[in-house]
Structure 1
Amino acid sequence: MFTFTPLLGAQSDSPASQSLLELDGGVKILVDVGWDEAFDVAKLQALEEHVSTLSIVLLTHPTIDHIGAYAHCCKHIPLFSKIPVYATTPVINLGRTLLADLYASSPHAASIIPISTIASAPASDSSPNLLLDPPTPEEIGSYFSLINPLKYSQPHQPIPSPFSPSLGGLTVTAYGAGHTLGGTIWHIQHGLESIVYAADWNQGRENLFSGASWLSGGSEIIEPLRRPTALICSSKGVEKSSHLSRKKRDDTLISLIRETIAQGGKVLIPTDSSARVLELAFVLNQTWRDNIDGPHADTYKNAHIYMASKSSTSSVRYLNSMLEWLDDAVRGEAEAAMTKGDGQGKGQSKAINPLDWKYVKQIERRSQVERAVNRTRPCVMLASDSSMDWGFSRQALQTLANDSRNLVIMTEKVSKIDQMKSSVGRQLWEAFHENLGHTSPQSGAKVVNADGMTLELQDASTSSLNADEMALYQTYAARQQQLHSTLQGDNTIADPTATGITEEQEEEESESEDEDEDAEHQGRALNLSAQLTQSSKRKVGLTDAELGVNVLLRGKSVFDYDVRNKRGREKMFPFVAHRAKNDDFGDLIKPEDYLRAEERDEIDGVDMRDGAKNESAVGQKRKWDDGAAFSGAGGGRGRRNSRPQNKRQRQDKQPQDKSKTHQPDDIDAAIARATGQQMRGGDGGVGANGTAAALDESDYDDDAESDYEPEDADASGPRKLVFETRSLQLKCRIAYVDFAGLHEKRDLQMIIPLIRPRKLILIAGEQGETQLLADECRRLLGSEDGGGGTGSEVFAPRVGEVVDASVDTNAWTLKLSRRLVRRLVWQEVKGLGVVALTGRLGTEVVDEPAGASPSANDENAKKKLKLIKGETEDSGSADVESKDLAVKPPLKANTPAATPVLDLLNSTSGLPQASLNPTQQSVHVGDLRLASLRQLLASAGHTCEFRGEGTLLVDGTVVVRKSAAARVEVEADVAGLQAPQGWATRDGGVGSFFAVRRAVYGGLAVVGGI
């Protein structure tokens, strides 16, 4: 059984991709955890419902469409972080930098809390837009460290999640998909099901990335991906109006850029921050390197290239460490340059490393972007992101929009996600296609003059919560905490402030070790009791559906729970384990149980939810950075700076702002920050000689500047999102060059008929292009709608629609007679027993010959005979012989039909004499691997070496070939048929050909009929 359900990205305008595959035995596989620029939590509800039953998660590409919601799910969805995740190494590394840039650049990425999840939310049309707590850079790094890395063509049997059933021999294999570095086509093998999941692949080879791994050096599909039971393929790109080759595409882009910078303009290319930006940066860097001394040298020397994102340095560093994932030509040049750079001879010419991006400058701060676009010299800026709703592309557009010489080049189609409003990138896309424009004389591309056009911008910023909004947030936090504890299997409600209290105690001990211990203990006890009191007041009940089986414990007057179609924890009565909390000194003491009445009244009157008070309460400790605790400017500064390390620790524990990130492994940024602090001296931006540092116009960038930006200061506590709408007048020009790197309609028309899937499922496309491709595939594959009737079935499901794509098999249940079983000769093939037989199918059991040994079935038959015989005697009926009972047991009216029995052919069957003695030709079953054959022959003393793909040369005389159709051919010359000297005793005096043939047959099972 195999059912497919698209959770996101099927006949939808949203490019997000999420797919659920359910196999036999309750095995559930989630492929991709995509999101879109709306960052709507409601779109993840379908995924959240299946989390508790998922077995594994597979990731395909390091883009927002395929991995954007991964960190959000790990942080805010219970049990998701316990599910094993598998991806290639580039997807892990580049996905980490993508999400770090996303959460640092867009406050909206933290996502707005749905009001429907707050039980006590006011019934009003206006939403306070409360933000969830975003994952910190450290948390993002820890989430991606949990992903299991895989290599291409590496079959792997994954480990299931703790709450998943056994996978039953499930095997997943990753193959190259193109489009992005490490992009994956997944092959999933489970029982009779062979599933190929190919989303957003590119067959064409690019400058930096290889193409998809469909073909094996010719026009044949590689064997593992051929004839699958189901092919899940994306339908993007079938409505493209222009089809440009790679060289024509690159020349068009370079011509537009050269024409713009020659006139003194600037070029903005909005793209992603980790995937397609690498291909664009590589093309530009190669162009600048090849033309820096050419006929347009003055034009290129006067322009700079910037790669602007808050994780650009990390992305480039990861690229240089993943050479094996690049195109073969690029990898060869890079390895040759590294080898020659080690000092092999003085007369050799220095090789150029294509990954040495000398002409591409990585910038990660808003101040650097502002200086780059405000300079008088032209530049080319690759800025995140393509939607221009977040990232540096939006900031750059606001500066470049007022100059008619500037050009905005879009490299991929921007979808319209929200029907009420469009993103900035979507507005530019519609303006480009709705206006006629003019043709560029150099590149031949269409260029639209946007002079007089107005863009509607919606700026998002964060602010603190008021008292009412804080109460809503605390209600939501308490409710989610209870829901998490329920789903995690803990039937006791944990104190939501327990972790914070522990951190506070450790912090107080580290910063004030010399204070009086009695007073310190008193302050902790009062704070602890107050927080416990407030937390008990904020507990919120859950619905019966959210409680699940725990409703038997927490629900009122609930004594029954339906466990049908449930599995795991939901099928067992909940058990509450009361654990005695103790430490090294015995049972823990609750301070709130020993408070005096006046102390309890005083504490209950303090509102602990605000988190800060103007005056210290009784027993509360003073902080080192508390300005009210010190007097005098000089003394206060000196005391606050006396423990800078503890202050940094407290800042690290506070929630990070969405507009600032710091990579945990970014050593270069740490060194640059330390260097900048030494060069600036005591006051920021002012040197030791008292003069402000000035940036030379000839410098590429200010490399000594610190990473610290005052406008990105951290904000502690819960936040809300505030939107502000404004207009932007455009005078710049707009162009489009297809750099998406996706398959086209002609690629699908060529590849899909070669794959010949039994069932084809189309996903990841808009409604129009999906229906267009579905009709075309039905015609190519000869399906029922196409008139053939015997071809493949083509499905085009919508979001949430379940497709039954099980393999078509004709299976019946039957029994084998005893004398037939005794004559079977089983052959073992990869742990399975295989036999070929011919028999007669009947409905009655043939009598056993005399002298037959009893078996377990005979014993069971005797027990049934005694039981039936006893019932017959009780009813006063006559005795019945055992033979009659064994052959024809009494049947009731509602008894189902008897199971047919397969028996040997005999002369009394009534069949023609020619059919009684059929000729069964022996067949060879199994899959021979040349690597295993080479190892076997080498251990026997033969000389073996590979000569090309799928060719093995043995002893220089015998050639073993394995074709793409898994056909093994053995060829030899005359010398291979003769036995060399000394082989008379070792190999029976046979030549190499016969020894190889014997080894080939030994690796296969010979199945013969009876």
Structure 2
Amino acid sequence: MFNFTSLLGARSSSSASISLLQLEAGINILVDVGWDESFDASLLKSLESHVPSISLILLTHATTSHLGAFAHCCKHFPQFKSIPVYATVPVISLGRALLQDIYATNPIAASTIPQDAFYNPSQAKGPVPNMLHQPPTNEDITEYFNLIRPLKFSQPFEPEASPSSPPLNGLTITAYSAGHSLGGTIWHIQHDLESIVYAVDWNQAKETALLAAAWLSAGGTEVIESLRRPTALICSSRCSQRVMFPREQRDSHLINLIKTTISNGGSVLIPSDSCARSLELAYFLENTWNDEKSGPENTDSLKNASLYFASASAGLTMRHAKSMLEWMDPDIVREFESLGQDNRNQNQQDIKTPFDFKHLRFVEKARQIKKMMAQSGPKVILASDLSLEWGHARTFFDEFCANEQNLVVLSQPITQTPTGRESISHTLWNLWCDDSSLAKANGEIDPDAVVETAGQSISFTHAKMEKLGENETILYQQYLAAERQKQWTIDADKATNLRPGVDDAIDDNASSSSDESEESDDEQQGKVLNVTTNLSSARHKAGLTDAELGIDILIRRKGHYDYDVRGKRGRERMFPIMPPKKAQRSDEYGEIIRPDDYLRAEERENLANDQKAHKSSKEVEMGQKRKWGQLSQTNLTAAIDINGSSKKRKVSGKTQDDGVYTDSGYDTMGNGTEFGDDSDSDDEAPEKPEGPVKVVYETKTITINMRLAHADFSGLHDRRSMQMLIPLIRPRKLVLTGGDPEETMALQAECEKLLDTDTSSGDNASEVFTPAVGETLNASVDTNAWNVKLSDALGNIKWQMVGSLGVYPLSGQLKAMAITLAQPQHQAKRLKGDPASKAITTTSTEVTTDANDAEVETVPVLDVVASTAALSATRVVARPLHVGDVRLSDLRRRMQSMGVGAEFRGEGTLLVNGQVVVRKSAVGKIEVEAVIGLPGFSITDSTFDIVRTRIYESLALISQSS
């Protein structure tokens, strides 16, 4: 059984992608936790309802549309953090950098609290405002991504299931390169008879830095065996109707646009995402600047322009890229090896990588943007985000609008929009399409067209944060109290992991009540929150009914002393226990130790006397907290050097001026440094309001005068790739998702022509489905399977195990056998006069009643062939054959356990002991070859025999004599 449900992204205008795969025995796999630029929490309601039943989560790309909601779900959805998550190493690292960039630069990323979540909203004067959740901090995001379990390409893996999920029963997942982003994944899921390939946003074309999609074998003529003829192929239809031009033509088009703008004295803005596609663009632009050899007399020389990468996580992204060269194109690896050889020849200690940029400089802070824009000369800026809704690209766009010499290059088609509105980039895309369509007489869009906006006006929605009013603060506190009450109804073992944002807000206030030295606004808010919590306890526990409370009614409601546990299971049969609150606050090193808790009685008295004597001193005593930004006298003295000048270092762990890398900066002493990093001046960005906030939306209209162009760096499959690969893959069921309705329906019509969709033609027929959001599709494999009973003569057969299956060769025949079913007496009397129970027919058995009203079941029974002359003459003896699948990774592990060296050399090739080569072709054929002529090899060497023996041991020999 296999059911597919698209929770977000199918046949819709939203670019977010969330899919639910439901397999046999209650196994539910969630693929991607995406969001769009609206960051609307209501889009995730359907996902929240499925969280308790999810077995595991798979992530495909480090983009907003594929994991943008991951941190939000970990922070606000109960039990979400306990679900195992799997992804490749680049997706984990770049996804963490992406979300840190989003929450640092976009206020609405925290998402608004739903209106129906407030308790008794009539107490507020006026409508309920759009209050924001508490956003996850960088430490929270790091914690969430540390829970993800890394995988490598082309290595089958048996994952673990969540605590609330049934066993996975041999489920296997394998990651293959998708090509769209660094570490982007095509997932192959194998479970029983189901072979599912989940491939959204893949790219078969070769690029500068990224690998291509791993559909084809090494020869490039056949699809690899594990991805061929799957029972279901889930593919994205986004951008599938465009025809992508060759890479050389695309690259030269972008360079020509940049040179033309530079010669006219303008600057170029290229909006892109923070991590996924920006790596390809940054590497391409850096190489282009390195190859530029024109002299200063040429006005269109790239040397006349400065190159920047503007993103709040630019340095972190490039640091990750340096450590993940093995995930990139082989040309990058060869370039790294050549750079390392040059360094050794020049006796240089530092190791250069292809991502140690000379020309590309990083801009991470708001003050750096102002300083950069104040400088004269043309600039080429690669900035996040692609939507122009948030990030540094939004700031640059406001600066670019006034100058008609400037150019904005849209790096990919913007055919999908945030829910309920259009983004700025989508509006610009429509302007470019409307004007560039006039460039050709046949109405097609000219990809080389440059559009002059010439004073056109565009409208967009602007989000602004404001502090909550008095009545709104009370309403927000009641919401937190209601969330705490819901949390108390969860099992004590899971309560500490649920609602981390609310739990931390309440427990921090509870733990800080013992510290009289800190009288901050957060503490005052915590006192009010505790009062609100107590008041809400008397209101039937935030409106929870008796059925919702379940067995917790014994400790939550007064006057209840008994609970019916008959027919209950699990926790409903045990007396509930109130989960204790956190006793200690923790940091990255564990629980915080208070020295006052370990003082002897006489030491406590001495300490109390000292505190009274020095009550007027501002110095913080031992064991007490300091206010934010307050330094002790010892630390203040240590911060000043001998000459009396303080070091240019930020105390809070931000960027340092001594060349040391931190999470928010980049090595300021090497190449590719941050631009204008003045650590002695504070950031001039507007301060965010403290405490709970709300978001206010307003519509703005601006006049644009810059030019528009398009260079397709989307890195997605096009129509030609689909027409080539779909007939080679030949899926039994093709599910199209991840695109707008027009693209999806057009691709469905093309795939029906490419595939034989006539179901009457036999097993080779294929079906194409286009489910909508929320629609459950039954995409199970069409097989004919029956349950049969074995006769007594077959009771002592010896099964040969192939994995978890037993195999036995047999020439037999099926017989019909009648079995009388024994029934309880009271049930027989009840069914005696029921005409509906006279005959019950199933797919494999038949149940009837005899004259005595006893039920007789007819079942198929497998028996040996009768030893008659007629049957013996027609009996066919099957040839022996080997059954099973040889995995090179398992063979390598077996050889290493025997002390024999084995290592992979290329795709599908295993070298054993430097002498024997084992290859596995795309069709699954195993070839074993001995390399003759190597030093130390002799014809009597037993390595070949050992390898052959181990291969045969992993297979089951099926013969009639066995």
Q: TM-score, normalised by structure 1?
A: 0.76
- Report the counterpart of residue 607 of structure 2 in structure 1: none
Give the 3 Å change call, closer, same or farther, for CA 116–932 of structure 1 in structure 2: closer
- Report the counterpart of residue 517 of structure 1 in structure 2: none
* 2:744 is aligned with 1:770: yes
Task: Return the match for 2:707 from 728, 733, 740.
Answer: 733
Shift of 1:779: 2.1
Give the 3 Å change call, closer, same or farther, for CA 755–505 of structure 1 in structure 2: same
Give the 3 Å change call, closer, same or farther, for CA 418–90 of structure 1 in structure 2: closer
Shift of 1:574: 6.1
Provide the rounded CA distance (Å) in 1 between the counterparts of 2:705 and 2:812: 84
- Report the counterpart of residue 12 of structure 2 in structure 1: 12
The one-letter code matched in structure 1 to 2:406 is N
- Report the counterpart of residue 842 of structure 1 in structure 2: 815
Give the 3 Å change call, closer, same or farther, for CA 548–533 of structure 1 in structure 2: closer
Counterparts of 1:36-55 in structure 2 under 5 Å? 36-55=36-55
Which whole-Å deviations, capped at 9, do the CAs of 1:568-616 have from their partners, x for residues lacking one?
Answer: 65xx3463225899999xxxxxxxxxxxxxxxxxxxxxxxxxxxxxxxx
Q: Is this contact kept in 1: 2:477–2:529, CA < 8 A?
A: no
Provide the rounded CA distance (Å) in 2 between the counterparts of 1:561 and 1:729: 69
Provide the rounded CA distance (Å) in 2 between the counterparts of 1:804 and 1:961: 37
Counterparts of 1:240-639 in structure 2 under 5 Å? 240=242, 242-293=243-294, 299-343=301-345, 353-417=353-417, 421-436=421-436, 445-488=448-491, 499-505=507-513, 507-508=515-516, 532-539=530-537, 541-544=542-545, 547=548, 549=550, 572-573=572-573, 575-577=575-577
Shift of 1:23: 1.4
- Report the counterpart of residue 806 of structure 1 in structure 2: 780
Q: Is this contact kept in 1: 2:62–2:92, CA < 8 A?
A: yes
- Report the counterpart of residue 92 of structure 1 in structure 2: 92
Give the 3 Å change call, closer, same or farther, for CA 893–361 of structure 1 in structure 2: farther
Q: Larger radius of gyration, structure 1 or 2?
A: 1
- Report the counterpart of residue 218 of structure 2 in structure 1: 217
Which whole-Å deviations, capped at 9, do the CAs of 1:631-674 have from their partners, x for residues lacking one?
Answer: xxxx9xx88999998222799xxxxxxxxxx9998665796899
Q: How many residues align?
A: 862
Q: Compute the RMSD of aligned alpha carbons.
A: 4.6
Shift of 1:908: 6.1
Q: Is this contact kept in 2: 1:483–1:542, CA < 8 A?
A: no
Provide the rounded CA distance (Å) in 2 between the counterparts of 1:529 and 1:469: 17
Give the 3 Å change call, closer, same or farther, for CA 663–561 of structure 1 in structure 2: farther
Q: Is this contact kept in 2: 1:456–1:727, CA < 8 A?
A: yes
Provide the rounded CA distance (Å) in 1 between the counterparts of 2:661 and 2:686: 16
Provide the rounded CA distance (Å) in 2 between the counterparts of 1:251 and 1:511: 62
Shift of 1:337: 0.8
The one-letter code matched in structure 2 to 1:445 is D
- Report the counterpart of residue 600 of structure 1 in structure 2: none
Long gaps (5+) in structure 1: 513-523, 585-622, 624-628, 652-661, 677-698, 847-860, 872-887
Long gaps (5+) in structure 2: 441-445, 585-610, 632-649, 665-672, 829-847
| Structure 1 range deviating more: 555-564 or 334-343 | 555-564
- Report the counterpart of residue 646 of structure 1 in structure 2: 626
- Report the counterpart of residue 959 of structure 2 in structure 1: 1008
Shift of 1:365: 1.4
Which whole-Å deviations, capped at 9, do the CAs of 1:309-368 have from their partners, x for residues lacking one?
Answer: 11111111111111111111012212321343134569x9x9985322111111011222
Give the 3 Å change call, closer, same or farther, for CA 331–295 of structure 1 in structure 2: farther
Provide the rounded CA distance (Å) in 2 between the counterparts of 1:510 and 1:468: 25
The one-letter code matched in structure 2 to 1:321 is S
Provide the rounded CA distance (Å) in 2 between the counterparts of 1:195 and 1:80: 24
Q: Is this contact kept in 1: 2:121–2:128, CA < 8 A?
A: no
- Report the counterpart of residue 904 of structure 1 in structure 2: 864
Give the 3 Å change call, closer, same or farther, for CA 377–158 of structure 1 in structure 2: same
Provide the rounded CA distance (Å) in 2 between the counterparts of 1:786 and 1:125: 63
Which whole-Å deviations, capped at 9, do the CAs of 1:428-481 have from their partners, x for residues lacking one?
Answer: 1111111248879xx981111101210213322211111221122112111122
Give the 3 Å change call, closer, same or farther, for CA 841–732 of structure 1 in structure 2: same
The one-letter code matched in structure 1 to 2:121 is A
The one-letter code matched in structure 1 to 2:6 is P
| Structure 1 range deviating more: 31-40 or 333-342 | 333-342
Shift of 1:818: 1.5
- Report the counterpart of residue 879 of structure 1 in structure 2: none
Q: Is this contact kept in 2: 1:268–1:408, CA < 8 A?
A: yes
Q: Is this contact kept in 2: 1:175–1:186, CA < 8 A?
A: yes
Provide the rounded CA distance (Å) in 1 between the counterparts of 2:716 and 2:515: 52
Provide the rounded CA distance (Å) in 1 between the counterparts of 2:948 and 2:161: 41
Provide the rounded CA distance (Å) in 2 between the counterparts of 1:263 and 1:802: 55
Counterparts of 1:891-970 in structure 2 under 5 Å? 893=853, 895=855, 897-907=857-867, 914-915=873-874, 917-929=875-887, 950=908, 961-969=919-927
Q: Is this contact kept in 1: 2:452–2:706, CA < 8 A?
A: yes
Which whole-Å deviations, capped at 9, do the CAs of 1:550-574 have from their partners, x for residues lacking one?
Answer: 586568999999999x9865xx346
- Report the counterpart of residue 158 of structure 2 in structure 1: 157
The one-letter code matched in structure 1 to 2:199 is A
Give the 3 Å change call, closer, same or farther, for CA 1000–317 of structure 1 in structure 2: closer
Shift of 1:17: 0.4
Provide the rounded CA distance (Å) in 2 between the counterparts of 1:748 and 1:372: 44
| Structure 1 range deviating more: 288-297 or 312-321 | 288-297
- Report the counterpart of residue 724 of structure 2 in structure 1: 750
Shift of 1:371: 3.0
Provide the rounded CA distance (Å) in 2 between the counterparts of 1:958 and 1:700: 51
Give the 3 Å change call, closer, same or farther, for CA 139–891 of structure 1 in structure 2: farther
**Partner secondary structure for residue 817 of structure 2:** coil
**Partner secondary structure for residue 6 of structure 1:** strand
The one-letter code matched in structure 2 to 1:277 is S
**Partner secondary structure for residue 176 of structure 2:** strand
**Partner secondary structure for residue 489 of structure 2:** helix
**Partner secondary structure for residue 760 of structure 1:** strand
- Report the counterpart of residue 232 of structure 1 in structure 2: 234
Shift of 1:3: 1.2
Give the 3 Å change call, closer, same or farther, for CA 712–488 of structure 1 in structure 2: farther
Which whole-Å deviations, capped at 9, do the CAs of 1:484-526 have from their partners, x for residues lacking one?
Answer: 33245589999977613444246546999xxxxxxxxxxx9x9
Provide the rounded CA distance (Å) in 2 between the counterparts of 1:303 and 1:706: 28
Shift of 1:531: 6.4
Shift of 1:163: 1.6
Q: Is this contact kept in 1: 2:308–2:381, CA < 8 A?
A: yes
Shift of 1:774: 1.6
Q: Is this contact kept in 2: 1:194–1:228, CA < 8 A?
A: yes
**Partner secondary structure for residue 648 of structure 1:** coil
Shift of 1:372: 2.4
Provide the rounded CA distance (Å) in 2 between the counterparts of 1:417 and 1:974: 61
Provide the rounded CA distance (Å) in 2 between the counterparts of 1:980 and 1:789: 50
Give the 3 Å change call, closer, same or farther, for CA 896–982 of structure 1 in structure 2: same
Provide the rounded CA distance (Å) in 1 between the counterparts of 2:109 and 2:468: 18
Q: Is this contact kept in 1: 2:104–2:312, CA < 8 A?
A: yes
The one-letter code matched in structure 1 to 2:508 is G
Provide the rounded CA distance (Å) in 2 between the counterparts of 1:785 and 1:295: 68
Provide the rounded CA distance (Å) in 2 between the counterparts of 1:560 and 1:100: 47
Provide the rounded CA distance (Å) in 2 between the counterparts of 1:942 and 1:97: 41
Counterparts of 1:627-706 in structure 2 under 5 Å? 646-648=626-628, 701-706=675-680
Shift of 1:901: 1.3
Provide the rounded CA distance (Å) in 1 between the counterparts of 2:244 and 2:933: 55
**Partner secondary structure for residue 39 of structure 2:** coil
Which whole-Å deviations, capped at 9, do the CAs of 1:64-107 have from their partners, x for residues lacking one?
Answer: 00010011111111111111111111111111111111111111
**Partner secondary structure for residue 743 of structure 1:** coil
Shift of 1:38: 0.7
Q: TM-score, normalised by structure 2?
A: 0.80
- Report the counterpart of residue 607 of structure 1 in structure 2: none
- Report the counterpart of residue 802 of structure 2 in structure 1: 829
Provide the rounded CA distance (Å) in 2 between the counterparts of 1:754 and 1:234: 17
